[in-house]
Structure 1
């Protein structure tokens, strides 16, 4: 058996005999059509041979262990599930190929079910003529289910039957074999389209092709088939992944393809509840939310000059919490929102406690994710162990050139903040020790893994579109950094003759995240990045054109900025396969070089798209338009490129961007890729691996997890909790040099090894090295951390 595993299993005619065969007994099974027949072991062996072919496993082992659990009257469906479960239980770092055996067994089951439902025969014998896909049924599949409102009828309007047949024959069923068990299980449970009775109606390659067809609709008609094939290849070869809403909803009637939305709430009762309504509508269509509440007056603030009347921020937080619970996305999962408050807000101490298990339960909001916005001035005072003043935003309005305190950043903010410390009435401010406030924040981090941190001055200083807006906070997963603003309510009017009430308002900037990620396990060399990244830019720009918008403000913002976010998955595997240790200077140099290449070809791809389709509306006056990328001149970027060995032509690119513009105002954002990393068998996002073997528990059940090629690189991988987290932050700082937005950067701490001062040092280092955000602080003592599925790409 060992020899077989080392050499790769070669089929043998020798087979284990079941107990029933040895005793001459006959076992009866129930087929899918309900008929009863004697068990034919040879049919089971055909399936096992198919599943094990070419893999380093012993099929006799699977057959023997599964047969122990056979029983009289077992259904063929149960036999298949038993084989799948048995194979999945065998996955280990020493024998990772069992995950592909389990995947093929599940695929075989899926092929049979879909073939039976759609009325075509999937042959039992796995030979050269075996075709799990039936290209002739592809057009009929879409036509039938478009009529029933399950697929979008735009597919039939934009593509002819001949187009469908051409694309059906372009699909490559062998690419299904790229899935491991977790990948195909997650895809089966959550992404493949189902009919009204819950039956899966499409196969994985059909899913990818229909998504590609949807995203190619904005292309010129004569180019549409070409781009459909290119988009399909990127997805089906697992070179890129798209965000969960895109994977779920492209090809559906409501093409809500965006991942996350960021709302700015004004200090106005009408606007507060208008944003509550927006939050409900966005959550209804599976969008994640970031919500900034820093403009709302504090507890005890006046209302219509009546002192002490305001209830502050906490009641609004609780309302939004209840909305996230109530709008539960068809019962699949709760809505999800991060809520950001500034560290100078007078209610910040109470806000820090919303998820802790101590204190007044009436002030808790356990289902939202708190985030704190921190200016440089606070970090300076923290280092100097100085005092900090909490202020009521009500008294911080119109403080300079018609702007509020929260509308300022950098030196301008510091000047006005220090003036307000002196001038604001005593009952509208509270002086605290900056270090004590920081200690309380870190204590909550230890207890809950949150709040998320947003370094607002860094975010705004390096905002390429600072000429037309301000960034107050980030999104749910803290990788999006884009301009935000409140909507302005104009008037309500009544037509007394009809009873028609019309509400008019001027849209603010509601940030929209349109996300996709590169699989660094497959795409990291220059030639591949040059080929893949511009195509991904095009795909995400098409997401904007095809998108269904739950709220009109999102449509307005999305079309003015056309912002996208390109991220990555399989980062740790990419390091490992290049023989790079996480805790090494070589890692930092590699990260710098790799992300420069990604940035260069993302900008170049957006520039080429601007030549074809026009630049984004607000391009003129941006840093991009001045040749300033990532806060640096073209000459500075050129020098950095020469230093790291890429030798890319940043000066020439800057001149082209000045001439033609960019199609997209924002381009790069490293989002978490939880569920989509599972689909493509990748390590998640930029995180180190959680462990060399563990079981992931999610909506698809308990799934065995091993990193890619763990048997080959066992000693190269190092688990997250064993890595010195300063190296996580240093690597993040190298990547950030080439990212116009931010990163969902997690910290992994062992409370037995990391105390308060060490944790404080990590967050201070993140600020010092220029990171814009810190996402979760994951602790060994915290067993439940909610993943953001919306941003997963």
Structure 2
């Protein structure tokens, strides 16, 4: 078995490998025939000629199925000796596996197609593993590794001349023989000072893929792809690929700015042989920076005000070595979507990018160079990262830096289309939208101006959906909007159907996100299995503006009016039936999300100036809206993983990070470009920001804590308490320097009611339907007194966004998410990327069980460890994936965070099996635990092809059934 094989001593493995490697002539032609079934007849073998095999040296040969049989025979010979040749059992196994391998190969290619020798060997390896022949699979792996090592010695900088000459089209458009010496120097630099990686496989794969007349930029891509292909085998190749991408970027930027006279086959604008710690010489990087700022401003790509900074002082502060911190996914994301470019030529290098963002955020500071350097240090070290709109637009001619906009759509035709226009303008500059549609009258409501009947809110949502697609955030990413509707609206049942793929397509919005805005009274009716009355808002207009006890009293009054016939457009249904439909649509379509109106309002710090009518696109923002004010939030996230030292939270570093981050977020408000006046009015008056976190799962790995554990819940509580304290304190200190926000007086802050205190207000409203921990560890009394003396600079300070994109840039796990899979392919607008959990790889290496078979096991089991026998149970627990964790643990941790947040959090929930009962319990628990909102429900697709384990005769493993994960929606990127 695998675990037994792993325990073989090194001498035995060496003997086994040598035995296999020397068996080239053991299998005679007669013995080959012994292992061929009748189906391998001469006539059928003629079909193999229609397929071509590319060998490692680039030569092409006809495909021959017999060689697969021979390879497997050799593997059995290595383990069981010559008697394997006459063994009937082995004869049957090889015959069966040969068919399996052949079928797997031809299934993926057309007739007359091309196979690579490595693909064939991969399929042989997988077939042996899946059949339960783990010792044989191990022997085959060792055999391949031994030969790979031998071949690797044939391709080095010293003997690269043995490769056939290929001509490359250089920067000057002329063909020249490839300069392998330069290529080798570059690849050797890319692997310099890194463990478990080597230049040889990258050079080898590149050499095999070369063709006559290749362009220099395509040679870069071949090197990059060669490194990318190795990431699933060894995560450190992600950094190697990132360095190779850096080389391409350096050449492009220097050439694009005309800083170097690059020609021919120059791979870099400097001598790579002289470099050690960084790829770009620091002096070269600094000279480039000043030129970049000046030329980008002339090209109208950057604000001319940036040229008036002391560019030498800023250039001297750059740390080019931080370019080496990137993973491949992070740098490729920046390259594709963030770096300033002209005519598709990237002009911006990573450290210049971070400094450009910092300069924009410091543009109104008195000592702006010093502040720009302070902001740059935070960003470039990945301690904190601003949200995507800030990274996109800071320092540009249109600095729209805010992430989220919340609007209320009035019940008037001209106002509805005015709201749609606002949506388009806000989306154009990368803003994510949350629209409250509850005021719009329902189906069959009277239209006084025409004496006709309304079609309700659904047709307008269809228009909003199509508008979001048309205005795709300045051509950088898809437009994104979420529609909110209260659960008493007469159109709520049609609203639930918006994302269905069946029915009248004119009443569907396939691209729009939707969310239920649920009052506590509805949840009580569900629990108590009572009736629920639906109203049209034109008949009950004040319900939209009420919450808590006031809402309850008004709603009950309207129910009495409905019973006496005073209200006409009403409908009474069972609350539990509507709840079940909500859950059913959530599971089927991923929408509408579950968000709770009353906790958002009862705990709202600025409830004296307005009512929270919705959340935002990603459900973490809870700010009031009205016809005069479009709520705005400005986001950024602390990288929690960067603040763990020796398994403990570094409080001093965290305090420094948060004080600087809060200043950066506050600066956004004054520097921001506002495309609609209502947003400017609201943002300058209340100054809300949303400081969040990312890398929570990374922090747990560093602390050696399983996500599904009480210790993880306690850490979620403790870490968020500290972050909340420091963020609120930083905002109060900013108020001393800059003044309190305009509507501070009358807020909960001014009354000495902090987020932790507002839980009591919710408890009083809810009664028995509430259970949230309220324990504290810090001295909150002193902070209350400080705030009442100093005031607050920001009406709101904290919100946890999804961070899907910026966490990729920093190379950590998203937001508060558990591990999705330990090995998987991620797709986004930058392409597909192989991702392997580096913490898992480190743990398996320590146990000496990280090898090719383990990689294939992880691929076969979709990144899950649970069915891999040789992995210890404690490791399986620590690295359990999102669908293997009971989502109640996620809710418990979220409840502990929620008590410290003055806004909300983007909380995804995961469900491995379709179960109405589990869904019901999950979302009721979220409500009772005091959560303000939830985000996506992610589930395993019931219709996906299932994988069944190997025959029990060949393995100790039980039959395992798993499915490819079907995520109902891509990650929201607007607020990240």
* Mapped partners of 2:974, 2:774: distance in 1: 38
1:422-571 alignment runs, 5 A limit? 422-424=560-562, 425=566, 427-486=568-627, 508-523=628-643, 524-571=649-696
| Counterpart among 341, 347, 364 of residue 218 in structure 1 | 364
Alignment-derived partner of residue 58 in structure 1: 198
- Which secondary structure does the structure 2 equivalent of 1:183 belong to? helix
- Which secondary structure does the structure 2 equivalent of 1:476 belong to? coil
How far did 1:413 drift?
Answer: 0.7
| Counterpart among 124, 127, 131 of residue 280 in structure 2 | 131
* Mapped partners of 1:558, 1:628: distance in 2: 22
* Mapped partners of 1:48, 1:18: distance in 2: 10
Q: Say which structure, 1 or 2, has more relative contact order (CA 8 Å, 6+ apart).
A: 1
- CA deviation vs aligned residue, 1:530-576 (integer Å, no higher than 9, x gap): 11111100000001111000101100000001110011111111111
1:789 matched to 2:940: no
Q: Is the 8 Å Cα contact of residues 635 and 650 (structure 1) preserved in structure 2? A: no
Q: Is the 8 Å Cα contact of residues 756 and 900 (structure 2) preserved in structure 1? A: no
Alignment-derived partner of residue 34 in structure 1: 173
1:150 matched to 2:290: no
How far did 1:50 drift?
Answer: 0.9
Worse-matched range after superposition: 200-209 or 711-720: 711-720
Mark the CA change 1:528 to 1:697 in structure 2 (over 3 Å): closer, same or farther: same
- Which secondary structure does the structure 2 equivalent of 1:395 belong to? coil
* Mapped partners of 2:775, 2:635: distance in 1: 31
| Counterpart among 157, 163, 167 of residue 314 in structure 2 | 167
* Mapped partners of 1:166, 1:15: distance in 2: 49
Q: Is the 8 Å Cα contact of residues 682 and 708 (structure 1) preserved in structure 2? A: no
How far did 1:21 drift?
Answer: 5.3
* Mapped partners of 2:717, 2:239: distance in 1: 34
* Mapped partners of 1:333, 1:677: distance in 2: 17
- Which secondary structure does the structure 1 equivalent of 2:345 belong to? coil
- Which secondary structure does the structure 1 equivalent of 2:484 belong to? strand
Alignment-derived partner of residue 292 in structure 1: 436
1:666 matched to 2:793: no
Corresponding pairs, count = 741
1:744 matched to 2:906: yes
- Which secondary structure does the structure 1 equivalent of 2:447 belong to? coil
How far did 1:701 drift?
Answer: 1.0
1:168-207 alignment runs, 5 A limit? 168-195=315-342, 197-207=343-353
* Mapped partners of 2:445, 2:758: distance in 1: 46
* Mapped partners of 2:431, 2:229: distance in 1: 35
* Mapped partners of 1:741, 1:705: distance in 2: 32
* Mapped partners of 2:728, 2:686: distance in 1: 15
* Mapped partners of 2:905, 2:758: distance in 1: 23
* Mapped partners of 1:619, 1:586: distance in 2: 37
* Mapped partners of 2:273, 2:923: distance in 1: 56
Alignment-derived partner of residue 258 in structure 1: 402
| Counterpart among 660, 663, 677 of residue 807 in structure 2 | 677
Worse-matched range after superposition: 521-530 or 260-269: 521-530
- Which secondary structure does the structure 1 equivalent of 2:434 belong to? strand
Alignment-derived partner of residue 222 in structure 2: 82
| Counterpart among 185, 195, 209 of residue 69 in structure 1 | 209
Alignment-derived partner of residue 412 in structure 1: 550
- Which secondary structure does the structure 1 equivalent of 2:378 belong to? helix
* Mapped partners of 1:760, 1:563: distance in 2: 34
- Which secondary structure does the structure 2 equivalent of 1:624 belong to? coil
Q: Is the 8 Å Cα contact of residues 20 and 26 (structure 1) preserved in structure 2? A: no
1:688 matched to 2:818: yes
How far did 1:139 drift?
Answer: 2.4
* Mapped partners of 1:436, 1:641: distance in 2: 31
Alignment-derived partner of residue 498 in structure 1: none
- Which secondary structure does the structure 1 equivalent of 2:595 belong to? strand
- Which secondary structure does the structure 1 equivalent of 2:624 belong to? coil
1:772-783 alignment runs, 5 A limit? 772-781=932-941, 782-783=966-967
Q: Is the 8 Å Cα contact of residues 628 and 634 (structure 1) preserved in structure 2? A: no
Gaps of 5+ in 2: 1-9, 15-151, 261-268, 644-648, 762-771, 845-874, 942-965
Mark the CA change 1:230 to 1:606 in structure 2 (over 3 Å): closer, same or farther: same
How far did 1:150 drift?
Answer: 0.9
| Counterpart among 98, 112, 116 of residue 251 in structure 2 | 112
- Which secondary structure does the structure 1 equivalent of 2:407 belong to? strand
* Mapped partners of 1:21, 1:582: distance in 2: 49
1:318-329 alignment runs, 5 A limit? 318-329=462-473
* Mapped partners of 2:160, 2:356: distance in 1: 46
Alignment-derived partner of residue 649 in structure 1: 779
* Mapped partners of 2:334, 2:163: distance in 1: 42
Mark the CA change 1:37 to 1:103 in structure 2 (over 3 Å): closer, same or farther: same
Alignment-derived partner of residue 729 in structure 1: 891
1:4-43 alignment runs, 5 A limit? 16=155, 25-43=164-182
Alignment-derived partner of residue 49 in structure 2: none
- Which secondary structure does the structure 1 equivalent of 2:165 belong to? coil
- CA deviation vs aligned residue, 1:389-427 (integer Å, no higher than 9, x gap): 111111113xxxxxx111111111111101101103453
* Mapped partners of 1:580, 1:344: distance in 2: 43
Mark the CA change 1:634 to 1:482 in structure 2 (over 3 Å): closer, same or farther: closer
How far did 1:303 drift?
Answer: 1.4
- Which secondary structure does the structure 1 equivalent of 2:346 belong to? coil
How far did 1:312 drift?
Answer: 1.0
* Mapped partners of 1:21, 1:562: distance in 2: 62
Q: Is the 8 Å Cα contact of residues 615 and 662 (structure 1) preserved in structure 2? A: yes
Alignment-derived partner of residue 400 in structure 1: none
* Mapped partners of 2:659, 2:677: distance in 1: 29
Worse-matched range after superposition: 103-112 or 68-77: 68-77
* Mapped partners of 2:158, 2:311: distance in 1: 50
- Which secondary structure does the structure 1 equivalent of 2:691 belong to? strand
- Which secondary structure does the structure 2 equivalent of 1:757 belong to? helix
Mark the CA change 1:485 to 1:23 in structure 2 (over 3 Å): closer, same or farther: closer
- Which secondary structure does the structure 2 equivalent of 1:632 belong to? helix
* Mapped partners of 1:23, 1:149: distance in 2: 50
Worse-matched range after superposition: 616-625 or 648-657: 648-657
* Mapped partners of 2:251, 2:796: distance in 1: 44
How far did 1:131 drift?
Answer: 3.0
How far did 1:631 drift?
Answer: 4.8
* Mapped partners of 1:642, 1:412: distance in 2: 26
Q: Is the 8 Å Cα contact of residues 156 and 184 (structure 2) preserved in structure 1? A: no
* Mapped partners of 2:392, 2:463: distance in 1: 29
Q: Is the 8 Å Cα contact of residues 606 and 664 (structure 1) preserved in structure 2? A: yes
Mark the CA change 1:305 to 1:327 in structure 2 (over 3 Å): closer, same or farther: closer
* Mapped partners of 2:163, 2:320: distance in 1: 40
Alignment-derived partner of residue 704 in structure 1: 834
Mark the CA change 1:596 to 1:783 in structure 2 (over 3 Å): closer, same or farther: closer
* Mapped partners of 2:162, 2:189: distance in 1: 28
Q: Is the 8 Å Cα contact of residues 641 and 648 (structure 1) preserved in structure 2? A: no
- Which secondary structure does the structure 2 equivalent of 1:729 belong to? helix
